[in-house]
């Protein structure tokens, strides 16, 4: 329970319509896409940096946990108020402060949706490259917190590559300004990228200066079907060996294809056991040239069929539907987003198949293969305890395999609470100690999203 | 003077041929391109991370300043052993550890020259985009320390955009490992980019995993001459408004052109008062298309002449010669590398001209205009004290102008010792306090490159 004088003081900072303390109202802020539930004891909706600063200072004075939150679309529990306290929702800070097309910059508050950024700049021929599948309903604040990426990261990189500067309030309640407004700048330490991907554990981002990219002139699509995942993975390695590569390269295994077949019966050839959905962009001339090179790279003994395709919208819709489709059949699926070096994908998928066979865990894999970033889904029955234990063991071995192959445990979801038990597999103790020191520097009382990210 | 027991212990860590204590030998490590001179009391040449760790621990135990150093090509004094102590030269750590073309990665020790990286991967069709004009003789360790960039940053970004992970030894002597080996990765805080650009004040980088980029298929060149800098700057704004832009866009003002004319008499048209050197890359088709669009954007009432040119090598050579040519006429030139938003370049150059006129300071400007990154050179006579005072006042107002235009004081040189007195113009006190806290976390005894970067 929050102390009564804390609540009283909170009410001096914000009008009543921007403070929830009723448990029923607070419950809407108890979960994210990790499906864990931790209700906050209050939810606040600040509108300004000054309000955020005052709230943070107050939480420090009373030692109350404070968990910043966008739209709760994360999958790693990063925005859950795991230790109770106050959820700080940024969903009402939705101003686009400046659209500066001459300098290819947009300045926005953290609650602006990714898609709203795209809509604001698309008519002028620009986009902001980070494209998580949640783009329609996730905020740029959340995208920054996890350094979100998506299918186009293979060509355009992730969030950290497209931010020039930030304003933020540290866990201690101190407002800071990082980076600059220009595309070059080397004055002082790079705090911008230190905050990006820090999952709301260091500071609350209150304003972001985002770098825009010109929209490609045209898009082209290709599909390739394979008799098995391993030959498909071999094609991925070949495609990524091309100098002018794809703007998206998505892999779907047999399990993923079957899910799509159930929902969209006539979309896919019956015999395909693994598929690549490929996008290329540029001028019509680029697209023709790159497509031919990619089609050549697709060819190997396992290839069933590859072709250019003009109407890819329905395919991308099916690809986007995969995560919700998986939820339907396995509400408690374990959804990972591991990354391995691209040329180890054939080995990874082969050994992954051995592991899931050994542990008898249903498994569906798809993802951003051009970055070696695969969503490994372990489908489990929540009522089957014995199976859950097997799945945990299997997951542990999958993570070991990823590290052995020189990969990383998370390409886009982040650590949050879901992966913190495994972070020591990837980050050695001295490096983790430095990270904890940085946490303490920004948030000396450990009130900001406490317990996240660290084991 | 270094304590005798410190020297004795140093000799237990390294063989004699890798320790200099003779002042004559040490003197070669006393300067960089800032032309300040601070001789170290010893120079060490470690070969391994373990040796670097041992040296760092020893310096901590004796509270001896330790200044890491590549090839001393920096212009901001970042590698100068300003407080004496030990210069740690990384010039003998020159191994390329791994060239992994399938994953577009090269792993190298910090003493490898930028150009050696390029040579190692060029035959396979790749390059590492950071291209400081010192690339032929500056190390990747130094490039990382300053997040170096060059003409191609306008298309390809700077060092921080092309590094996947690092190994480093903190100022406290603790080995850490940052980032990962893959193009996506969001596990833990981004220490990679925290170290990049930290100018050797946080940790000594001992190994870097660099991301490679496919070489463009072909290069094309254009030149445009203007009757004055302001109309030339207006053309820069137009060119940077094109979606498919140049791969380099260099600006040279009348002073810079005259320097070139003195050395290469027949290279430039006599009447040109400002010039753009433009590079475009891609397929032949891309180059034709982009060149036409750029030529159209070059047109304005101040344009004298613009054309595509096939033989640009001699022009680039002249451009590269500008800094040394300036040194010849003004050995004590003040060489800045400010950045302003591209669309403020006309206003910046106009107000800069007023300032240098007002303070009667000879001034030559050129640089990476596509990023708004201009090398502002104030040419002064070292024996003229009164002029130096005027130049300092002028510089101070130039920096104020840059900040007023939402720019940054340094686009590629860094702060070092040269710009630390001005850093408060750009970074506010709370943000600077956080940066100092990070410094203290990595280097609690303040032995690593002490005094640099902070005012």
What interface predicted TM-score (ipTM) does this complex get?
A: 0.96
What DSSP string runs through A57-99? HHHHHHT--EEEESSS--SSSTT--TT-SEEEE-TT---EEEE
CB contact under 8 A, B438 and A438: yes
Which fold, B218-404? Vanillyl-alcohol Oxidase; Chain A, domain 3 (3.40.462)
Per CB-CB distance under 8 Å, the chain B contacts of A105 are: 341
Using CB atoms, which residue from A184, A241, A371 is nearest to B158? A184
Does B182 sit within 8 Å of A411, measured CB to CB? Answer: yes
Strand partners, B20: B43
Among residues A178, A180, A160, which one has the least CA distance to residue A168? A178
Mutation site for B-interface testing, chosen from A144, A187, A199 by largest number of B Cβ within 10 Å: A187
Neighbours of A423 (CB within 10 A): 18
Measured CA to CA in angstroms, residue B363 lies from B231, B271, B346, B354, B395 at distances of 18, 19, 16, 11, 11
Asked whether B274 and B224 are in contact (CB, 8 A), the reply is no
Taking the Cβ of residue B158 and every Cβ of chain A, the question of whether any pair is shorter than 8 Å is answered with yes
The two tokens of residue A371 are 């970055």
Q: In chain A, which residues have their Cβ closer than 8 Å to the Cβ of B202?
A: 189
Nearest to A193 among B193, B406, B408 (CB): B193
- Cβ–Cβ contact B130 with A under 8 A: no
* Interchain CB distance below 8 Å, B153 and A198: no
Note whether A187 contacts B427, CB cutoff 8 Å: yes
Instruction: Say yes or no for a CB contact (<8 Å) between A428 and B240.
Output: no
Beta bridge partners of residue A67, listed in sequence order: A87
Neighbours of A94 (CB within 10 A): 15
For residue A169, the cross-strand partners are A175, A204
* CATH (one of 3.30.43.10, 3.40.50.2000, 3.90.180.10, 3.40.50.720) for A4-89: 3.30.43.10
**Contact residues, B window 253-282, toward A, CB-based 8 Å cutoff:** none
Handedness of CA B91, B97, B100, B105 (dihedral sign): negative
Q: Among all residues of chain A, which has the CA nearest to that of B441?
A: A437
Q: In DSSP terms, which residues pair with B363 in a beta bridge?
A: B378
- Judged by CB atoms closer than 8 Å, whether chains meet at B434 and A176 is answered as yes
Backbone angles phi, psi at A28, to 5 degrees: -65, -15
CA distance B384 to chain A (A): 30
**Residues forming beta bridges with residue B374, ordered by sequence position:** B338, B367
Pairing label, strands A42-44, A86-89: parallel
Alpha-helix residue ranges (DSSP H) falling in B219-312:
229-239, 254-263, 284-298
Beta carbons within 8 Å of A386's beta carbon, 6+ residues apart:
none
C-alpha–C-alpha distance, residues A312 and A297, integer Å: 20
Write out residues in chain A with pLDDT < 50, as ranges. Answer: none
Beta-carbon separation of B189 and A182 below 8 A:
no
> Using CB atoms, which residue from A170, A177, A410 is nearest to B186?
A410
CATH classification code of A216-257+276-319: 3.30.70.920
Rounded CA separation A162/A156 (Å):
9
What is the reported pLDDT for B136? 95
Four-CA torsion A109, A111, A113, A114, nearest 10 degrees? 60
Instruction: Tell me which of A53, A121, A188, A238 to substitute to probe the interface with B (most B C-beta atoms closer than 10 Å).
Output: A188
Domain A96-214 top-level CATH class: alpha beta
Find where tokens 């740029």 sit: A140
Q: Which residues of A42-60 are buried (b: 16+ CB within 10 A; e: fewer)?
A: bbbbbbebebbbbbbebbb
CB-based contact A162:A114 (threshold 8 Å)? no
β-partners of residue B87 are B43, B67
Q: How far is CA B390 from CA A142, A337, B30, B327, B400, in A?
A: 49, 59, 28, 20, 15
Q: What is the pLDDT of residue B314?
A: 78
Chain B residues with CB under 8 Å of A177 CB are 427-428, 431
Is there a contact between A396 and A410 (Cβ–Cβ < 8 Å)? Answer: no
Domain ranges of chain B: 96-214, 218-404
Q: Give the pairing of strands A303-309 and A334-335.
A: unpaired
Show residues of chain A in contact with B407, CB under 8 Å.
180-182
Integer Cα distance of B297 and B306 in angstroms: 10
Is A149's CB within 8 Å of B184's CB?
yes
B residues 62-81 lying closer than 8 A (beta carbon) to A? none
- Provide DSSP, B8-54: HHHHHHS-GGGEE-SHHHHHTTSB-TT--B---SEEE---SHHHHHH
State the pairing for strand pair B203-211/B105-108: antiparallel
Q: Is there a contact between A408 and B184 if contact means CB atoms under 8 Å apart?
A: yes
Strands (E), B128-270: 163-170, 175-179, 203-211, 213-214, 218-226, 248-253
The answer to whether A428 contacts B185, with C-beta atoms less than 8 Å apart, is no
Measured between CA atoms, how close is B416 to chain A, in angstroms? Answer: 9
Chain B hits for A405, CB-CB cut-off 8 Å, are none
Q: With an 8 Å Cβ cutoff, is B177 touching chain A?
A: yes
Provide the pLDDT for residue A399.
97
Determine the pLDDT at residue A278.
96
Using the Cβ of A202 and the Cβ atoms of chain B, whether some distance falls under 8 Å is answered with yes
Query: Which of B240, B433, B441 lies at the smallest CB-CB distance from A437?
Result: B441
> Cβ neighbours of residue A136 under 8 Å, at least 6 residues apart?
A113, A114, A115
| Tokens of residue B152, six digits | 């191609």
Chain B residues inside the 8 Å CB shell of A423: 187-188
Alpha-carbon span B24 to B10, nearest angstrom = 19
Contacts of A161 in chain B (CB under 8 A): 157, 161
Whether residue B453 contacts residue B77, with contact meaning beta carbons closer than 8 Å, is answered with no
What tens digit of pLDDT does each residue of A305-356 get?
999 998 778 778 888 888 888 888 887 788 899 999 999 999 999 999 999 9
Contacts with B100 from chain A: Cβ below 8 Å? 341, 343
Q: Measured between alpha carbons, how far is B451 from B455 in angstroms, rounded to an integer?
A: 8
Tokens, residue B256? 């810079």
Secondary structure class of A324 (helix, strand, coil): helix
Which A residues, 14 through 43, put their C-beta within 8 Å of a C-beta on chain B? none
Size of interface A-B (CB pairs under 8 A): 267
Q: Encode chain B (455 residues) as per-residue pLDDT tens digits.
A: 899 999 999 999 999 999 999 999 999 999 999 989 999 999 999 999 999 999 999 999 999 999 999 999 999 999 999 999 999 999 999 999 999 999 999 999 999 999 999 999 999 999 999 999 999 999 999 999 999 999 999 999 999 999 999 999 999 999 999 999 999 999 999 999 999 999 999 999 999 999 999 999 999 999 999 999 999 999 999 999 998 899 999 999 999 999 999 888 888 899 999 999 999 999 888 899 999 999 999 999 999 999 999 877 877 888 888 888 888 888 778 889 999 999 999 999 999 999 999 999 999 999 999 999 999 999 998 789 999 999 999 999 999 999 999 999 999 999 999 999 999 999 999 999 999 999 999 999 999 999 999 99
Q: If DSSP codes are grouped into helix, strand and coil, which group holds residue A295?
A: helix
Residues found in chain A: 455
Closest by Cβ to A103, choosing from B174, B183, B342: B342
């Amino acid at each position: 329970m929050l102390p009564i004088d804390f609540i009283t003081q909170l009410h001096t900072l914000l009008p009543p319509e921007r403070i929830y303390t009723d448990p029923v109202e607070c419950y809407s802020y108890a979960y994210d896409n990790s499906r864990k539930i931790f209700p906050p004891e209050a939810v606040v909706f600040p509108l300004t940096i000054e309000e955020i600063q005052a709230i943070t200072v107050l939480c420090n004075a009373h030692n109350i946990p404070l968990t910043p939150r966008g739209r709760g679309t994360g999958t790693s529990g990063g925005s859950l108020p795991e230790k109770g306290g106050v959820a700080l929702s940024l969903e009402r800070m939705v101003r686009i402060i400046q659209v500066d097309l001459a300098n290819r910059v947009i300045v926005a508050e953290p609650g602006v949706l990714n898609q709203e950024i795209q809509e604001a700049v698309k008519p002028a021929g620009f986009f902001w490259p980070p494209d998580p599948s949640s783009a329609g309903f996730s905020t740029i604040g959340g995208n920054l917190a996890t350094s979100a990426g998506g299918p186009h990261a293979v060509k355009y990189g992730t969030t950290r590559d497209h931010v020039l500067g930030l304003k933020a309030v540290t866990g201690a309640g101190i407002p800071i300004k990082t980076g600059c407004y220009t595309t070059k700048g080397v004055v002082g330490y790079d705090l911008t990228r230190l905050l990006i991907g820090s999952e709301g554990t260091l500071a609350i981002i209150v304003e972001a200066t985002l770098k825009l990219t010109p929209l490609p002139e045209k898009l082209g699509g290709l599909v390739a079907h394979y008799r098995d995942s391993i030959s498909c993975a071999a094609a991925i390695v070949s495609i990524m060996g091309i100098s002018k590569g794809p703007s998206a390269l998505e892999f779907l295994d047999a399990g993923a294809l079957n899910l799509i077949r159930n929902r969209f019966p006539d979309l896919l050839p019956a015999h395909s056991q693994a598929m690549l959905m490929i996008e290329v962009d540029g001028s019509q001339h680029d697209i023709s040239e790159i497509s031919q090179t990619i089609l050549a790279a697709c060819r190997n003994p396992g290839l069933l069929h590859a072709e250019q395709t003009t109407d890819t919208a329905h395919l991308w819709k099916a690809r986007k539907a995969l995560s919700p489709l998986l939820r339907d059949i396995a509400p408690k699926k374990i959804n990972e987003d591991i990354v391995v070096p691209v040329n180890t994908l054939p080995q990874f998928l082969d050994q992954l198949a051995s592991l899931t066979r050994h542990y008898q865990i249903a498994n569906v894999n798809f993802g951003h293969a051009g970055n070696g970033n695969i969503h490994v889904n372990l489908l489990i029955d929540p009522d089957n305890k014995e199976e859950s234990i097997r799945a945990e063991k299997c997951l542990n071995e999958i993570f070991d395999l990823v590290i052995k192959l020189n990969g990383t445990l998370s390409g886009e979801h982040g650590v949050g609470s879901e992966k913190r038990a495994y972070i020591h597999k990837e980050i050695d103790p001295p490096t983790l100690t430095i990270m904890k020191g940085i946490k303490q520097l920004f948030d000396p009382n450990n009130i900001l999203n406490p317990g996240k990210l660290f084991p």
